[in-house]
Amino acid sequence: MNVLIVAEVFKGAVRKASFSAITAGKELAEKSGGSFSILIMGKGIEGPAGELGKFGAASVLVADSDALEHYLAEPYAQVVAKVVQDKGFDAVLAAANTFGKDLLPRVAAKLNAGMISDITEVVEAGDEPVFRRPMYAGSVNATVKVKTKPFVASVRGTAFAKAEPGDGDSPKESVTVEIDGSLAGKQRFVKFDEAVSERPELTEAEIVVSGGRGVKSKENFKLIEDLADVLGAAVGASRAAVDSGFCPNDWQVGQTGKIVAPNLYFAIGISGAIQHVAGMKDSKVIVAINKDEEAPIFQIADYGIVADLFKVVPELIEKLKKLKAEG
Amino acid sequence: MKILVTVKRVPDPDMKVRVNAEGTGIVEDNMKFVINPFDEIAVEEGLRIKEKKGEGEVVIVAIGPSVVQEQIRAALAMGADRGIHVDVDSYPDPLNTAKLLKAVAEKEAPNIVIMGKQAVDDDYGQAGQMLAAMLGWAQATFAYKVEIADDNSKATVTREVDGGLETIEIDLPAVVTADLRLNEPRYASLPGIMKAKTKPMDVFKPADLGVELSPVLELVRMEEPPPRKGGIIVETVDELLDKLRNEAKVI
Ligand SMILES: Cc1cc2nc3c(=O)[nH]c(=O)nc-3n(C[C@H](O)[C@H](O)[C@H](O)COP(=O)(O)OP(=O)(O)OC[C@H]3O[C@@H](n4cnc5c(N)ncnc54)[C@H](O)[C@@H]3O)c2cc1C
Ligand SMILES: Nc1ncnc2c1ncn2[C@@H]1O[C@H](COP(=O)(O)O)[C@@H](O)[C@H]1O
């Protein structure tokens, strides 16, 4: 089958999550004996379009237009749906991040296509493709078949490695889509308040340090951030920590937040509710710091310390600093 | 202002979900079912908009077998005005759910449809965006804050997206999907629960709505993932650092 992967541009570059979608799309194309193309949309996107030439795609389709300057669901969905129809793609994939989650179902409806969210495995790439995906906050692994052609799928980033660029240079093709303004004009971009951070992106980081309700205040949350900084880690949080205003929304890890799978994950003052665990259980090594020895987080942690975080975390920071100084 | 809010019946997220022996579904015995938490937030938002406007109607719609009337009544007990039950034997996939909702929306002609960003049973997160596309309306997913213009012609919605908060303006009618921090749903009061019993509820079959269901997704099998194995408890920070450096080799 011929697979279309929709890549996302963020601040002038391809969003890293898109590289996992490329891996999944490539696998689907190879398993079914077809090929894959990559579509990129935006304004002034020669740079990221060039980046996308290095993954062995049959073509890189570039929709560069003023109307696509800011992401908005309707104009973007119009472009994707038109490209799929005109070029006869059988499958449309993108990352299961907020871009893909917002855009893809709208594309699916326009194509009257079935959509599978959050695929973690390509099981069969035949006439009626079959995928694996989590349900019920990861309590269930479901095997699901999609019966339409074309169909749509979003890709869970932690389940597919990021595609690595090679030597190739896929042909670029510019696509012009006449956007229906009567529909696209119904939504307007106003502003984006970025949660600026010097730290690595949560879903990319090798190490993630997360704090929960046990951290107790915004001021104390500094401690979590300090530990992250000595480790060069990203900062995450439980929903309770976010709801209590200790940290920004987009630090939330879990079923309804970010899905992460770093080499090392610290859960500090986090009880280990299933909705949180859903977002981090595929981490390679999990460390839990919690004063309650009954906390469910200890059932999945590789290393646990039953202690007061306000004692343990400062000591950890001190000792890590010393180790660092010693080289 | 007419506000249509969708509610799905789902297992209580605080309860452990088990897959049945056949791998065809979950074990329902002794399970408690509730309004999908995101839909409860959607109901609350609908009520707040109506209260702020000082006029309007909040209509609840649920698709599923007759037991979903429990969740409609629960939303009515929170303060919604009336319910619509679309009676089907099992929960349709999101595309078919959206087709049914489209028919309901066309019948009701609301100023806004508020839904959850995802149902926490299937975790699909699709129906709202699909409905918006089918109606040719704007969508604002993952809503964190919703402000309706005085003349009900548009709304300004702040959305929780990767890397920050995005604000968009949408023409009404539109579909908004609720994220966790949009509001804190109220509890139903005792008088609210009593009143809910007599509030009107219409029941339709898909055929009454002129919709023919044709499933696009098929659940082949469900399994419980192997549980992650627990590890060890260490006593000191030194011991932890030693393990992380020399055993796990992650720092
Ligand atoms: C629909 C829905 C979606 C959800 N999605 C998510 C999600 O995506 N992500 C998420 O995280 N949650 C999510 N939740 C919430 C989840 O169910 C839990 O409520 C939440 O994860 C709890 O956060 P917590 O562990 O920080 O807080 P708590 O459960 O309150 O745990 C705090 C922990 O801190 C420990 N502690 C307290 N003081 C100290 C101290 N001084 N030293 C050491 N330890 C201490 C306590 O022993 C306790 O274990 C969702 C819930 C619902 C209903
Ligand atoms: N059977 C249903 N009845 C009513 N609303 C539903 C139903 N299924 C989905 N929805 C709505 O659509 C949202 C997204 O669902 P889903 O796409 O299944 O994750 C939910 O939060 C509900 O608001």
- In this prediction, what percent of chain A has a pLDDT beyond 90? 96
Q: Is the pLDDT of residue A327 over 80?
A: no
Average pLDDT in chain B: 97
Of A221, A290, A305, A311, the residue with max ligand 1 atoms within 8 A of its CB, to mutate for a pocket test, comes to A290
How many CB atoms are located within 10 Å of the residue A190 CB?
13
Residues A96-117 have a mean pLDDT of 98
How does pLDDT run across A115-165, given as a tens digit for each residue?
A: 999 999 999 999 999 999 999 999 999 999 999 999 999 999 999 999 999
Which residues in chain A have Cβ-Cβ distances shorter than 8 Å to B244? 264, 285, 287, 303
Peptide bond into A150 cis (omega under 30): yes
Taking the centre of ligand 2 as the mean of its atom positions, its distance from the CA of residue B8, in whole angstroms, is: 5
- The answer to whether A109 contacts B95, with C-beta atoms less than 8 Å apart, is yes
Peptide bond into B173 cis (omega under 30): yes
Residues B5-34 have a mean pLDDT of 96
Q: Is the pLDDT of residue A73 over 80?
A: yes
Q: What's the pTM?
A: 0.97
Report the greatest alpha carbon distance in chain A. Answer: 64
Q: Is the pLDDT of residue A197 over 90?
A: no
Domain boundaries, chain B: 2-225
The full DSSP string for A116-132 is EEEE-EEEE-SSS-EEE
A56 exposed, middle or buried (CB, 10 Å; 0-12, 13-18, 19+)?
middle
Residues A87-109 have a mean pLDDT of 98
How does pLDDT run across A220-237, given as a tens digit for each residue?
A: 999 999 999 999 999 999
Average pLDDT in chain A: 97
- The answer to whether A281 contacts B230, with C-beta atoms less than 8 Å apart, is no
Taking the centre of ligand 2 as the mean of its atom positions, its distance from the CA of residue B197, in whole angstroms, is: 24
Taking the centre of ligand 2 as the mean of its atom positions, its distance from the CA of residue B198, in whole angstroms, is: 25
> For residue B230, what are the contacts with CB-CB under 8 A and spacing of at least 6?
A298, A299, A300, A301
Tokens of A30: 């190879």
Model pLDDT, residue A38: 98
pLDDT band per the 50, 70, 90 thresholds, residue A196: confident
- The answer to whether B224 contacts A145, with C-beta atoms less than 8 Å apart, is no
- The answer to whether B181 contacts A99, with C-beta atoms less than 8 Å apart, is no
- In this prediction, what percent of chain B has a pLDDT beyond 70? 100
A292 touches chain B (CB under 8 A): no
Pocket of ligand 2 from Cβ distances under 6 Å: B 6-8, 36, 38-39, 62-64, 91, 94, 97, 115-116, 118-119, 122, 124-128
Q: Is the pLDDT of residue A85 over 90?
A: yes
Which residues in chain A have Cβ-Cβ distances shorter than 8 Å to B230? 298-301
Please give the Cα distance from A257 to A139 (Å, whole number).
Answer: 16
**Which residues 88-117 on chain A approach chain B with CB closer than 8 angstroms?**
97-99, 101-110, 112-117
| Mutation for testing the A interface, residue in B129, B137, B241 having most A CBs under 10 Å | B129
Nearest bound ligand to the CA of residue B99: 2
- CB-CB: which of A137, A146, A302 is closest to B231? A302
Instruction: Assess contact for A236 and A209: CB atoms under 8 A.
Output: yes
A98 exposed, middle or buried (CB, 10 Å; 0-12, 13-18, 19+)?
buried
Residues A105-120 have a mean pLDDT of 98
Please give the Cα distance from B53 to B1 (Å, whole number).
Answer: 8
Please give the Cα distance from B69 to B87 (Å, whole number).
Answer: 10
Instruction: Assess contact for A179 and A78: CB atoms under 8 A.
Output: yes
Domain B2-225 indexed as CATH 3.40.50.1820 = no
Which residues in chain A have Cβ-Cβ distances shorter than 8 Å to B167? 190-193
pLDDT band per the 50, 70, 90 thresholds, residue B184: very high
Taking the centre of ligand 1 as the mean of its atom positions, its distance from the CA of residue A140, in whole angstroms, is: 21
Model pLDDT, residue B212: 97
Among chain A residues, the shortest Cα distance to B227 is held by: A300
Complex ipTM above 0.95? yes
Residues A277-298 have a mean pLDDT of 97
- In this prediction, what percent of chain B has a pLDDT beyond 90? 98
Model pLDDT, residue A241: 98
Contacts 24+ apart (CB under 8 A), A12-15: A12/A47, A12/A48, A13/A47, A13/A48, A13/A51, A14/A40, A14/A48, A14/A51, A14/A52, A15/A95, A15/A97, A15/A99, A15/B162
Please give the backbone phi and psi of residue A236, each rounded to the nearest 5 degrees, phi first.
Answer: -125, 180
Residue A142: closest CA among A161, A121, A162, A159: A121
